[in-house]
Amino acid sequence: MKLLHKVKRHIADNELFDKQSKLLVTVSGGVDSVVMLNVLSELGFNLSIAHCNFKLRGVESDKDENFVRNLAMHMNLPIYVQEFDTEIYARNHKIGIQEAARNLRYAWFFELIDENGLDFINVAHNANDNTETVLFNLSRGAGLEGMRGIVAKNNRVVRPLLSCSREEIMIYADNHGLTFRNDSSNDSVKYSRNRIRHHVIPEMEKINPSLHTTILRNCGVAQKLTNFVEQCMKHEIEKLIVKQTPGCILTIDIGTLMHMENNTLVLYYILREFNYTYSDCQDVISCLKGEPGKIFEADGYKLLKDREYLFLKQLGNEVTIQEYHFTLDNYPDDWPAELKLELIETNNPLDILTPELSVAYVDADRISGSFILRKWQKGDRFKP
Amino acid sequence: MKLLHKVKRHIADNELFDKQSKLLVTVSGGVDSVVMLNVLSELGFNLSIAHCNFKLRGVESDKDENFVRNLAMHMNLPIYVQEFDTEIYARNHKIGIQEAARNLRYAWFFELIDENGLDFINVAHNANDNTETVLFNLSRGAGLEGMRGIVAKNNRVVRPLLSCSREEIMIYADNHGLTFRNDSSNDSVKYSRNRIRHHVIPEMEKINPSLHTTILRNCGVAQKLTNFVEQCMKHEIEKLIVKQTPGCILTIDIGTLMHMENNTLVLYYILREFNYTYSDCQDVISCLKGEPGKIFEADGYKLLKDREYLFLKQLGNEVTIQEYHFTLDNYPDDWPAELKLELIETNNPLDILTPELSVAYVDADRISGSFILRKWQKGDRFKP
């Protein structure tokens, strides 16, 4: 009864769904999903079952399928079952079996709810899964994003058991005489996760017996904090990004960046999706005042420090150096510069020569045809 | 040689100090502090030694002191030694031994550098200590702040060994034939820390052998992120806090709060130092549209939801309801309201009565003496 109450409150607190919602309950046959199915049924929700047969454990996989089919029959619930060629898919897409199984099942779940007018996909992650995810992310260095753990509601995927510990789920199954299937893949496939589950977490629970609840609460705040940071970052980033330059993914204003508080962090939030590390961004920031021309490479990208701007470009498929032909009356449509050509008629050329850094004077009598604008290339010389 | 280079770079990257700095090196006699002393000496810095004798381990404590005195003599460095009555201090201040020792030594270190014209206090925390701190904070639920770990430079306290693992430090000691003392308190006193050190971390290192470096990098970003969040929060909080109300610690504008993005999080950043949890703040936010009068209590504080404002007050030492006596010409010095009294002379009183919510008309002929301004109390009635 305690678990029932906990789930009910979790559903309300996180606004997962309501009594009108049509729920797809994904049931593997393991204790978590069997308890989820029973709890949602006891709470009187409108349910359909989905079961995936990944054909990865031979006859065991088929026994799981039969178990879930029987469960659906006894509970008088509609059931959808799908078989997958997980190994072939993994091989074809050059990904691991776990990732293949995840891609396949979520693609199918979304298809199912779209085709059958259902609202939410219920997945049986619990508080222990969340703690494992946080510790796993921490050990790999996933930062604030990793500290968010598993979210209770992500678009149309919901997790009604997320606030319950594995122990509470086992006790519920026991008290209600529920039968379930043991997933034999659990112990072998998820090597790192099992290390965390069986060795790390029990020790940390000795320090804090309410570890899962504590971490779950932290994750909630980390989720809100991530939103807040992203919202603030958006404002900061908008100040930095200037109008698009042809051939560039991003153009960043150096002057603004130099005078911005927390500029390394903001730059990192811009560049991290292009494989730059925080340390790379520290290097960039420390070179802002230096000579132009410096290039910072990351996997697949390069960042050029010019005079006023940082230009981010893709590596590899670089376009041949673009040329823009222009005359006094004719600029091309994609004219990228603020450069303008002006004809000054005079009998005393030397009189009009006022020295300015952004102006060059050329004798119109000595040239013909069109001008060409292109980037500086090795060997080019210019004496103002 | 590798460690020497690592420390040198860490000092430069984090701008800990330079060749002109006068460093106080705190040496317990354990391997970390002995290696720190040797590395800083090899790097040619200007050093003085400080050693605390906490008198907690009888003859062992005195042997440590002698060891460090000898070390200083051989290295020809000035040394400061202080004995503490740690147990008496702990008893008098009703705090634990560890906290007492920390308070005592830092108070003395700061005294030392002030009195002797020194610049920085060098403490021998390493990358493993940092990982332990992060995991300890995580298990207790310390949020983003806890993920910052140990900082390389905090005001005048610096940690030159922070980027080095315990293993690297041991190898350096071994290669340089350094002798050091084993701290026997290490295994018994810090119970939770040792659980993390001996059981949790070794398992996590099997998942990521560069665990300490990974976590150290994460901590760096978490430190910057905390700064960024605090800076953004400051802006948001400024929008919410309105002018002080007598008897209140804080007055928060409900209208602004209701329409603010991430309002629960912002409210949490305001109220967390007054013992409110994130969940308390969720409750407050969900009641903003409701009737006034609701009170939310946290340890030592209460938050009153009024019509336009949230008032935060201290519990316990509540003042008796304050009264302000005023007349036409005389307002008290601490006059809290924008209320003003004005005498209008007229022969046709009904002509001047323009209905306005913020104005009340009273017949001057029918009153005498001073007015009293006070909060609404049960039983008060007013018909405009």
For residue B132, give the CATH number of its domain: 3.40.50.620
| B93 and B222 assigned to the same domain | yes
- A272 close to B (CB below 8 A): no
Which of A290, A314, A338 represents a domain boundary (last residue)? A314
- A155 close to B (CB below 8 A): no
Asked if the structure places residue A232 within a domain, the reply is: no
**pLDDT at position B356, please?**
67
- B237 close to A (CB below 8 A): no
- In the sheet that A309-314 helps form, which strands lie side by side, from edge to edge? A250-253, A309-314, A301-305, A295-298
| B254 and B301 assigned to the same domain | yes
- B366 close to A (CB below 8 A): no
**Set of chain B residues whose Cβ sits within 8 Å of the Cβ of A224:** 262, 264-265, 278
Identify the residue with better confidence: A94 or B357: A94
**Set of chain A residues whose Cβ sits within 8 Å of the Cβ of B139:** 204, 207-208, 211, 214
| B277 and B347 assigned to the same domain | no
| A192 and A275 assigned to the same domain | no
**pLDDT at position A318, please?**
53
| B15 and B144 assigned to the same domain | yes
Contact present, A125 and A159 (Cβ < 8 Å):
yes
pLDDT digits over B270-329, tens only? 999 999 988 899 999 999 988 888 999 998 999 999 989 999 998 875 545 566 777 777
From the list B208, B215, B224, the residue facing A264 with the nearest CB is B224
Token reading at B353: 């009565």
Token reading at B334: 């601490």
* b/e code A265-299 from CB counts within 10 Å (16+ = b): bbbbbbbbebebebebbeebbeeeeeeeeeebebe
Amino acid at B290: G
| A206 and A175 assigned to the same domain | yes
**Set of chain B residues whose Cβ sits within 8 Å of the Cβ of A217:** 141, 278-279
| B188 and B334 assigned to the same domain | no
Residues 2-61 in B contacting A (C-alpha not used; CB under 8 Å): none
Asked if the structure places residue A235 within a domain, the reply is: no
For chain B, give percent helix, strand, coil, nearest 5.
Answer: 45, 15, 40
Number of domains in chain B: 3
Residue B112 burial (CB count, 10 A): 17
| A60 and A194 assigned to the same domain | yes
How close, in Å, is residue A364 to chain B by CA atoms?
54
Domain hosting residue A330, numbered range: 320-384
Max CA separation in chain A (angstroms): 105
| B299 and B348 assigned to the same domain | no
From the list B134, B231, B262, the residue facing A231 with the nearest CB is B262
**Nearest residue in B to A219, CA atom:** B143
Average pLDDT, chain B: 88
Report the distance separating Cα A287 and Cα B85, nearest Å.
Answer: 52
Which of A200, A226, A252 represents a domain boundary (last residue)? A226
**Mean pLDDT of each 10-residue bin along chain A, 384 residues long:** 91 94 96 97 97 88 95 97 91 89 94 97 96 92 88 96 95 95 61 86 90 92 92 93 84 94 94 91 92 90 92 74 71 70 75 69 74 70 61
Sign of CA dihedral B293, B294, B299, B301: negative
Report the distance separating Cα B384 and Cα B171, nearest Å.
Answer: 84
How close, in Å, is residue B132 to chain A by CA atoms?
12
**Set of chain B residues whose Cβ sits within 8 Å of the Cβ of A262:** 224, 227-228, 231
Residues 56-85 in A contacting B (C-alpha not used; CB under 8 Å): none
Asked if the structure places residue B43 within a domain, the reply is: yes
For B194, phi then psi, to 5°, come to -70, -30
Token reading at A111: 């298809």
- A135 close to B (CB below 8 A): yes
How close, in Å, is residue A136 to chain B by CA atoms?
8
Judged against a pLDDT cut of 60, whether residue B171 lies above it is answered with yes
Asked if the structure places residue B236 within a domain, the reply is: no
> Which of A203, A224, A268, A279 would you mutate first to test chain B, the one with the most B CBs within 10 A?
A203
From the list B141, B218, B266, the residue facing A141 with the nearest CB is B218
Q: Are the beta carbons of A204 and B262 separated by less than 8 Å?
A: no
| A74 and A182 assigned to the same domain | yes
CATH number at residue A246: 3.30.465
Q: Best-predicted range by mean pLDDT among A209-223, B68-82, B341-355?
A: B68-82
**Set of chain A residues whose Cβ sits within 8 Å of the Cβ of B232:** 228-229, 232
| B170 and B282 assigned to the same domain | no
Q: Is B323 helix (H, G, I), strand (E, B) or coil?
A: coil
Report the distance separating Cα B61 and Cα B370, nearest Å.
Answer: 72
- Antiparallel, parallel or unpaired: β B22-26 and B120-122: parallel
**pLDDT at position B189, please?**
42
| A325 and A302 assigned to the same domain | no
Residue A361 burial (CB count, 10 A): 13
For A290, phi then psi, to 5°, come to -80, -170
For chain A, give percent helix, strand, coil, nearest 5.
Answer: 45, 15, 40
Q: What is the ipTM of this complex?
A: 0.74
**pLDDT at position B182, please?**
84
Asked if the structure places residue B234 within a domain, the reply is: no
**Nearest residue in B to A197, CA atom:** B203
Contact present, B146 and B226 (Cβ < 8 Å):
no
Contact present, B90 and B99 (Cβ < 8 Å):
yes
Burial of B351 (0-12, 13-18, 19+ CB in 10 A): exposed
From the list B141, B232, B278, the residue facing A215 with the nearest CB is B141
Q: Are the beta carbons of A139 and B211 separated by less than 8 Å?
A: yes
List all residues 6 or more positions away from B230 whose beta carbon is below 8 Å from its beta carbon.
Answer: none
Which of A314, A332, A354 represents a domain boundary (last residue)? A314
pLDDT digits over B24-57, tens only? 999 999 999 999 999 999 999 999 999 999 888 8
Burial of A235 (0-12, 13-18, 19+ CB in 10 A): exposed
Judged against a pLDDT cut of 70, whether residue B359 lies above it is answered with yes
Asked if the structure places residue B333 within a domain, the reply is: yes
Judged against a pLDDT cut of 80, whether residue B353 lies above it is answered with no
Report the distance separating Cα A314 and Cα A299, nearest Å.
Answer: 10
How close, in Å, is residue A189 to chain B by CA atoms?
14
Asked if the structure places residue B233 within a domain, the reply is: no
Identify the residue with better confidence: A141 or B336: A141
Concatenate the DSSP letters of all residues of B339-369 into one string. --------S-HHHH----TT-----GGG--S
Asked if the structure places residue A268 within a domain, the reply is: yes
Q: Best-predicted range by mean pLDDT among A210-224, A239-253, B114-128, B208-222?
A: B114-128
